Each structure stands twice: as structure tokens, then as C-alpha cells.
């Protein structure tokens, strides 16, 4: 489902619930449904706030283990779910239209490049430093 269609479906569902609440219980039903919609919206906003607050405590693009992140990623996850998992914002490598590529790296020099299309994880790749290269740069 495209993001625009999903947003339209949510708004249409909310409107239908408001009409049904008013039709069944009058103004009390309308206020009850409106209160439930506001409550669910606040829960969603608090989830985003909590995730970003946790990510703010970690240097940008740094994780504990790139290998573990590579093993735990699944196609279709949202950017918010990946940030919750890594507890860090990724370094933006490339952005073109609705496609974005982010990098997370660990103290050993390994990294994971994750490509998001329309906010959903589409592809990821684990990278490791070459053995003869210079020492890895530690996370700040």
C-alpha cells in the first residue's frame, strides 16, 4: 500500500468512526471516538519521540556490532523500526527521490549500508575493512 493511499485510508476510517459514533450515541459518541483518535495519535507521537530521544544519546551512525545488525535486519521494516533497533541515526550516504541509503558502522570498522525506498528497508549490505588497510576509525 502506498503511503498516500495508507494516509487516505486512515483518514477515511477516522471519519467513518466519527460518523458512526455520532449516529449511535450522539455528541457523546462523537466525543468518545474523537478522544480515542487523539489518544492513539499521541501514543504514536510518543513512540517516535522516545525512539529519537534514545538515538540522541548515541553518536550518529555508530552501533555496537555491524554483523549483529546485518543478521537482524529484515526487508520491509520502517526507518523508525531500524532506528529503534540500532539506537542511532544512520549517516546519510545517498538520497535520490524516495530512495535513501544510510550507513551504520561499528568500532571494528565494519559497516552496514541500508537502502530505504519510501521509508521501508529494501536492501542492506555488510561491509568489512580490508586486512591490509589503515586501522579503522573509532566511533566518536
Q: If you average pLDDT over every residue of the chain, what do you get?
A: 92
pTM more than 0.85: no
Q: What's the rounded mean pLDDT across residues 60-89?
A: 95
pLDDT at 132 over 60: no
Q: What's the rounded mean pLDDT across residues 82-93?
A: 94
- DSSP 3-state helix, strand, coil percentages of the chain (rounded to 5)? 50, 20, 30
Banded pLDDT at 3 (limits 50, 70, 90): confident
Beta strands, E only, 23-129: 91-96, 99-105, 111-117, 120-127
Q: Percent of the chain at pLDDT above 70?
A: 93
Q: What CATH number belongs to 60-127?
A: 3.30.1450.10
Which strand ranges, in their side-by-side order, compose the sheet holding 111-117? 91-96, 99-105, 111-117, 120-127
pLDDT of amino acid 46: 97
Q: Where are the domains of the chain?
A: 3-55, 60-127
Q: What's the rounded mean pLDDT across residues 14-28?
A: 96
Banded pLDDT at 2 (limits 50, 70, 90): confident
pLDDT of amino acid 130: 84
Contact (CB, 8 A) for 77 and 120: yes
pLDDT of amino acid 140: 65
pLDDT of amino acid 30: 96
Amino acid at each position: 500500500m502506498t503511503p498516500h493511499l495508507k494516509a487516505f485510508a486512515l483518514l477515511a476510517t477516522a471519519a467513518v468512526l466519527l460518523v458512526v459514533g455520532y449516529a449511535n450515541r450522539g455528541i457523546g459518541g462523537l466525543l468518545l471516538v474523537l478522544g480515542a483518535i487523539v489518544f492513539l495519535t499521541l501514543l504514536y507521537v510518543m513512540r517516535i519521540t522516545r525512539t529519537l530521544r534514545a538515538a540522541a544519546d548515541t553518536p550518529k551512525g555508530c552501533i555496537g556490532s555491524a554483523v549483529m545488525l546485518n543478521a537482524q535486519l529484515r526487508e520491509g521494516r520502517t526507518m523508525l523500526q531500524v532506528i529503534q533497533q540500532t539506537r542511532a541515526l544512520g549517516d546519510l550516504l545517498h538520497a535520490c527521490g524516495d530512495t535513501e541509503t544510510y550507513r551504520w558502522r561499528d568500532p571494528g570498522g565494519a559497516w552496514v549500508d541500508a537502502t530505504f525506498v519510501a521509508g521501508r528497508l529494501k536492501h542492506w549490505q555488510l561491509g568489512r575493512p580490508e586486512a591490509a588497510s589503515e586501522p579503522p576509525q573509532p566511533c566518536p
